[in-house]
Structure 1
C-alpha cells in the first residue's frame, strides 16, 4: 500500500501526517506554513480529526492505529511512552525503570528523541530528573506549550 501524506495546521506549526491502512507511521511538526490538506484520505482523516480535538481541548486520549518504524528497542520505548497519562510527566529515570532497566537511561532518552509520531506518542511528557524540560525534537518552546496545554490550571503551593 502506498503511504499517504496529509498536512494539518496546529497552533504549533503544520503537522505532516504520513501513514496507510497499516497505521500512522509518522507525524512531524514543520516550521514552514503549509495549508491544511483539502483532501485527506480515510486512513489519515481520523488522525487529523483527533489532533484537532486534542488542540481544542476536547481529547485527552488518542485512539489510532499506529505503525512507527524503528528498532525493537525503540518500539518498546515508544509503547511505554503511551502509558504516561494525559497532563502527567515522567522523568527519563522513571521511564527507564518502567522499561525494566535503570541503566538504559541514555538509550531510552535517545529512543525518545527518535519518536516519529509527534504528540500521539507523548515524548513531550518526559522531563529531566530536576524537572527541567530537557531536549525535544520539536523545540523546547513546543514542549512547554504542550505541557501547559495539557495542564492549564496551575495549583498553588501549600508551602
Structure 2
C-alpha cells in the first residue's frame, strides 16, 4: 500500500481533510477542526494538490466538475450508487428514489441512502444533491446545514436552474 498523505482545505463551511496516496485521492471529508494541521508541502502528492485547488475553484464558483485522480472503495452496490450520483447535474437535486430507479432497482431506496451515507468523496461524488422524495433535505454526514449551503451555492451560481427542494 502506498503511503497515506493528508492535506487540509479551509472551505467557507469548515475544514475539509483530503486523504490519498501518491496516485489518487480516496477521502474528502469535513472535520470539526477550525485550523489547518496538514498544509501543502514539498512531499504533498500532485493528486492532493489538484484536489485542493479544484475544491478552491468549486467554492469560488469557477468549477462545476472535478478532474483530479480519485478512487473509491466499497461494495459493488455502493460503487454503482456512487457512479449514479456522479450523473446528477450541478445545481440540481435528485431523490433517493431517482437514484434507485437509475440503477435499475426501484425498491432499493433505503440501500441507496445507506450507500450515499458511506460516500467518502464529499462534493466530488455529489451526495449533497440527493434529497427526500418529498423535497426535504435529509441526511448528510457533514451536517444538514452544510448540505443546504452547498445546494444554495450551486443554485446561486446557476441562475438558469430553479431549486427543486423545499428548505
Q: Same fold (TM over 0.5)?
A: yes
Q: Report the Cα offset of residue 64 of structure 1.
A: 2.1
| Residues in 1 aligned to 2:59 and 2:141: alpha-carbon distance in whole angstroms | 19
Aligned position for 2:136: 132
Q: Which of the residues 77, 82, 89 maps onto 2:86?
A: 82
Aligned-pair CA distance for 1:73: 1.0
Q: Which residue matches 2:151?
A: 147
Look up the match of 1:72.
Answer: 76
Alignment TM-score, normalising by the size of structure 2: 0.88
Please give the residue correspondences for 1:1-159 in structure 2 after superposition, counting only pairs within 5 Å: 1-35=2-36, 37-39=39-41, 40-152=44-156, 153=159
CA contact (8 A) 2:19 2:27 kept: yes
Q: Is the 8 A contact 1:4 1:20 kept in 2?
A: yes
CA displacement at 1:75 relative to structure 2: 1.1
Distance 2:23 2:104 in 1: 29
Could you tell me which runs of 5 or more consecutive residues in structure 1 were left unpaired when the two chains were aligned: none
Unaligned runs of 5+ in 2: none
CA distance in 2, matches of 1:38, 1:60: 23
- Do the aligned partners of 1:22 and 1:67 also contact (CA within 8 Å) in 2? no
Alignment: residue pair count: 156
Query: Does the aligned pair in 1 maintain the 2:22–2:45 contact within 8 Å?
Result: no
Q: Is the 8 A contact 2:47 2:68 kept in 1?
A: no
Question: 1:91, 1:140 → 2: CA distance?
Answer: 15
